[in-house]
């Protein structure tokens, strides 16, 4: 039987300063090719994009969505995706990368604890927003860019407040989509939406404790469900069993360390929670379709390293690196 081909997923990591976790990539040279990459990629932070010109497509887990000039994209971290322009075009973009928790701090209401766009749990998540329908979003991004460009007095606080307003608009839209779904759909779908929210504590626990050892029963207890019910619901929502998701999260974290540190692979495997190097290597190859060492060597062409600048004129990754063999 022929070996089934698997889509390679790349980690494209960004350095975001702890005191002000924000990076903007923009400039005339930032254009997206019309050649569709065979690889999806993900980021370690929230990505907000603004399309200045032309049209194209974004792929998410096999789902394709079209974009056009004026559209705004909001992509949570660790969300595999790829962007490509329509045939014969090279769309122009500006990208904002940020960590909302670090940028907003205590400004986020306590009730939003499990509504972090970094780790979204909204059904029917909306990735692309039309500026014709959401002109406020476009206006806010324009003001944010202007503030960062001019660097007037207290511009950072101004940007922080503007981004919070943008974040609120996205949040309200997602909540409204839930309300509409509740109004149109039956009890089964209402239950699914509730389940999405109720596994959120387990997702947050995994995000904060992935480096520790815990069982599926521990995650089920956090959600106040039986292990059997928790495993079934979690798998339905996330598309994989709980412990597979834990290992996937650990692999995503290891990608960051492989790109940004010189730590030995064994040390990294321990830091992200694997009990043995063989388990780490096996899970890494299953998710990333290459070994940790191969990934470190080939992915560093992508690493965007630390700098004092917030706005960067960057040409982007228009072409994938050399093929990573199985």
Structure confidence at residue 310 (pLDDT): 45
Structure confidence at residue 37 (pLDDT): 85
| Closest residue by Cα to residue 277 from 310, 254, 243 | 254
> In the 8-state DSSP scheme, what is residue 300?
T
- Alpha-carbon distance values, 128 to 48, 117, 229 (Å): 10, 14, 33
**C-alpha span between 274 and 88 (Å, rounded):** 46
Decide if 164 contacts 196 (C-beta within 8 A). Answer: no
**Burial, 90: exposed, middle or buried (Cβ in 10 Å; 0-12, 13-18, 19+)?**
middle
pLDDT tens digits, the chain, 326 residues: what are they? Answer: 444 444 556 667 777 777 888 988 887 777 899 998 877 887 878 999 999 999 999 998 678 999 999 999 999 877 888 999 999 999 999 999 998 878 887 676 655 554 556 555 555 678 999 989 999 999 999 999 999 989 899 999 999 999 999 998 988 887 787 777 666 654 445 455 455 557 778 888 898 899 999 999 999 999 889 999 999 988 877 778 999 989 988 988 898 788 778 899 999 999 999 999 999 999 998 887 789 998 888 766 544 443 444 444 333 333 333 332 32
pTM of the model: 0.65
Structure confidence at residue 269 (pLDDT): 95
The phi and psi torsions of 56 (rounded to 5 degrees) equal 170, -155
Residue 93 CB coordination number (10 Å) = 23
Domain ranges for the chain, please list them: 8-185+305-326
Q: Which residues of 145-175 are buried (b: 16+ CB within 10 A; e: fewer)?
A: bebbeeeeeebeebbbebbbebbebbbebbe
Structure confidence at residue 196 (pLDDT): 54
Structure confidence at residue 219 (pLDDT): 94
Structure confidence at residue 111 (pLDDT): 52
Structure confidence at residue 323 (pLDDT): 32
The phi and psi torsions of 254 (rounded to 5 degrees) equal -65, -30
Structure confidence at residue 286 (pLDDT): 86
Per DSSP, the residues of 66-79 read EEETT-EEEE-TT-
For the domain 8-185+305-326, what is the CATH superfamily, name and number? Regulatory protein AraC (2.60.120.280)
């Amino acid at each position: 039987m022929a070996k089934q081909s698997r889509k390679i997923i790349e980690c494209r990591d960004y350095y975001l300063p702890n005191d002000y976790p924000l990076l903007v990539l923009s400039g005339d040279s930032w254009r997206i090719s019309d050649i569709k990459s065979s690889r999806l990629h993900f980021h370690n932070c929230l990505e907000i994009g603004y399309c200045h010109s032309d049209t194209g497509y974004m792929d998410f887990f096999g789902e394709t969505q079209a974009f056009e000039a004026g559209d705004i994209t909001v992509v949570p971290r660790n969300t595999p995706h790829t962007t490509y322009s329509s045939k014969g075009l090279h769309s122009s973009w500006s990208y904002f990368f940020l960590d909302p928790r670090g940028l907003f701090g205590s400004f986020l209401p306590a009730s939003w604890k499990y509504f972090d766009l970094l780790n979204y749990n909204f059904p029917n998540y909306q990735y692309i927003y039309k500026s014709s329908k959401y002109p406020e979003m476009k206006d806010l991004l324009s003001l944010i860019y202007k503030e960062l460009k001019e660097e007037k007095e207290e511009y950072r606080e101004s940007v922080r407040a503007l981004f919070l307003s943008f974040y609120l608009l996205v949040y309200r839209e997602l909540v409204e989509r839930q309300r509409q779904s509740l109004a149109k759909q039956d009890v089964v779908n209402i239950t699914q939406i509730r389940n999405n929210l109720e596994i959120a504590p387990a997702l947050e626990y995994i995000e904060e404790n992935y480096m520790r050892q815990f069982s599926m029963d521990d995650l089920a207890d956090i959600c106040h469900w039986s292990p059997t019910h928790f495993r079934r619901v979690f798998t339905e929502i996330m598309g994989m069993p709980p412990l597979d998701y834990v290992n996937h999260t650990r692999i995503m974290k290891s990608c960051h360390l492989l790109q940004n540190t010189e730590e030995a692979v064994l040390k990294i495997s321990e830091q992200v929670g694997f009990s043995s190097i063989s388990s780490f290597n096996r899970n890494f190859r299953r998710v990333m379709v290459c070994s940790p060492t191969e990934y470190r060597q080939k992915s560093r062409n992508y690493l965007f390293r630390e700098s004092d600048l917030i706005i960067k004129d960057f040409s982007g990754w228009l072409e994938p690196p050399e093929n990573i063999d199985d």
